[in-house]
Every structure is written in C-alpha cells, then in structure tokens.
Structure 1
Amino acid sequence: MLRGLTTLSFYADDLTAARSWYAEVLGIDAYYAFPAEGTPAYVEFRIGDYEHELGIIDSRYAPADRPDQPGGVVAYWHVDDLQASLDRLLALGATLHLPVTEQGDDSGFVTASVVDPFGNILGIMSNPHYLEILAARTQARTEATAQHTS
C-alpha cells in the first residue's frame, strides 16, 4: 500500500524566510514555487539520493485544528554525519527537540531532532538500512549499465 515518501509538508508563517532558511540548510534553492510570480504560497525542494520532496506551505493554508506547538509525526532524513548535521542546524537557528539518541542495541540507528525557526520538527538520522538500500540500487544500476554496454 505505502510505496515511499513523496512529499513532506511543513507550514511557515513567513514563507520567504522559511524558503531562505531551508535553502541555506540544504545548499539548494526551491525548484518550484506557486504561484510562480509574486509572493508564493508554496515552495518545494527536492532532496537527496531519491529526490524526496520537502514542501513548505504558507501557514494561512494550514488545517484549522493545527496545534500551536510542534508535535505529531517526526520524519527522519538520513544524514552521513549526525552530530555535524545537528550542530549545523542549531547554528542556523533551529532549537533542540530531542538529543542524539541511539535506537536499540548497537545497530547503528541513531536519531536527533530539532524544531526549525518556523515551528516544524525536523528529524535527522544515521540509518544503516538507508545506506544498504542505496548501495544495492547503485550496484544494480552499475550492473545494468555494464550489461547494456557489453
């Protein structure tokens, strides 16, 4: 039924500031804005190995029952260096939500989360499973390319 993450949506009272902040965090600008002219109500970034989408919506369009405090689901993004990523987010103005936490035994799953300057929870994670899947897909593409060029 669920096939994969497509778009994660955050809300921000100041969409222009949120767009700038996330452009700084991600090292890229949003690839899409709606409307294209004038002040947007929605911007979207494509992120990482699978180009997952992070959308930021003007909070005027948030559901009426949206809580005033951060809460709910935390989506975790894989990062290669958890502590360095956490330190950078904090230096850019995020606040600590949950500290670096080992999940379970010595499996390598380690998480942390921050609240961005716009009130959204941003989770980061060292995730060995993510790296295994990425390596397997990279290997499959390499093998397919080799077969195609033979």
Structure 2
Amino acid sequence: MLRGLTTATFYSPDFEATRSWYTEVFGIPPYMDTPGYLEWRIGDYQHEFGVVNSAYAGSELARTPSPQTVGQPAGAVVYWHVDDVPAALERLVALGAKEHDSPHDRGTGFITASVIDPWGNILGLMYNPHYLEILASLKGGV
C-alpha cells in the first residue's frame, strides 16, 4: 500500500527566513519557489521536502490541511537517513534548530534524534542500516 515517501510538508509563518535556513541546511535552493510554497528535492531518492506559507494554511492554495498547531511541535515525525546522527544534530542546532529528542540507540544499528526547526516543525534524523542496504541493492553499492 505505502510505496515510498513522496513529500514531507512543513509550515512556516516566516517564509523568507525559512527559504534561507533550509537552503543552508540542504546546500541548494528550492526548485519550486512560490509565495505560498517552497520545495526541495533532496537525498538519494530525491524526495520532496515542502514548506507551506502559514498564511495559506488550510486554504485551497495550500493543497494540504491546516496543521493542528502552526508554530508548535506537532504531528508525525518524518525521519530522514543521515550518516552521522550526532553530527547532523549538532549542525542543525548550530543553524538555529532546537534539540527535540537527543540521540538514542534503538538497537541493531538504528540511531534516532530530532530537532524543532525555527518554525516549530519536528525534523527527524535516523541512521538506518536498512536504508543503506536498500540503497546498495538498487545502486550496486553505497
């Protein structure tokens, strides 16, 4: 039924600052940049990371329902594979995120942590051996 991540969507009341912050985090500007929506393609599979301008939250232009609490940590946590969870956490905190969940060893090589971006969205970080196994099988090596 679920075939893969298509788009993770966050909200922001400060669109200019959000564009600048995530451009710094990802190292590339958004490929879609409109007054109501920003989108980057990131990672090994070019997953879509979107940000809706909070001014449009719940409107037809947002094309997504309004979150329960814009500006407060809420909702599901989407974990993104990173090669070094503590280093990624440290970099995001240095860029202005707040630590939400410190690194935890979940066993068998899985490590998780999360931050709250400057606009209240939770961004999950995970070292996931399974992710690397799948990537290696699809690309013939990591």
Same fold (TM over 0.5): yes
Q: Is the 8 A contact 2:68 2:74 kept in 1?
A: no
Could you tell me how far 1:71 is from its partner in structure 2? Answer: 1.7
Match of 1:67 in 2: 69
Could you tell me how far 1:61 is from its partner in structure 2? Answer: 2.1
Runs of 4 or more above 4 Å deviation: none
Match of 1:15 in 2: 15
Deviations 1:96-150, CA, capped at 9 Å, x for gaps? 10000111x3x1100000000011000001000000000000129xxxxxxxxxx
Deviates more, 1:76-85 or 1:63-72: 63-72
Deviations 1:65-105, CA, capped at 9 Å, x for gaps? 622521220000000111111000000000010000111x3
**Partners of 2:11 and 2:121 in 1: how far apart?**
7
The reply to whether residue 99 of structure 1 matches residue 102 of structure 2 is yes
SS in 1 for 2:52: strand
Q: Is the 8 A contact 2:109 2:129 kept in 1?
A: yes
**Partners of 2:25 and 2:140 in 1: how far apart?**
29
**Partners of 1:110 and 1:22 in 2: how far apart?**
23
**Partners of 1:22 and 1:29 in 2: how far apart?**
8
What is the root-mean-square deviation of aligned Cα atoms in Å?
A: 1.4
Kindly provide the amino acid, as one letter, of the partner of residue 122 in structure 1. L
**TM-score if structure 2 supplies the norm length?**
0.89
The reply to whether residue 43 of structure 1 matches residue 43 of structure 2 is no
**Partners of 1:72 and 1:11 in 2: how far apart?**
11
Match runs of 1:131-146 below 5 Å: 131-139=132-140
CA change 1:56–1:82 in 2 (3 A) is: same
Q: Is the 8 A contact 2:7 2:50 kept in 1?
A: yes
The reply to whether residue 127 of structure 1 matches residue 128 of structure 2 is yes
**TM-score if structure 1 supplies the norm length?**
0.84
Equivalent residue pairs, number: 133
Match of 2:61 in 1: none
**Partners of 1:139 and 1:96 in 2: how far apart?**
35
SS in 2 for 1:135: helix
Higher helix share: 1
Q: What are the ranges of 5 or more consecutive residues in structure 1 without an aligned counterpart?
A: 35-39, 141-150
CA change 1:98–1:22 in 2 (3 A) is: same
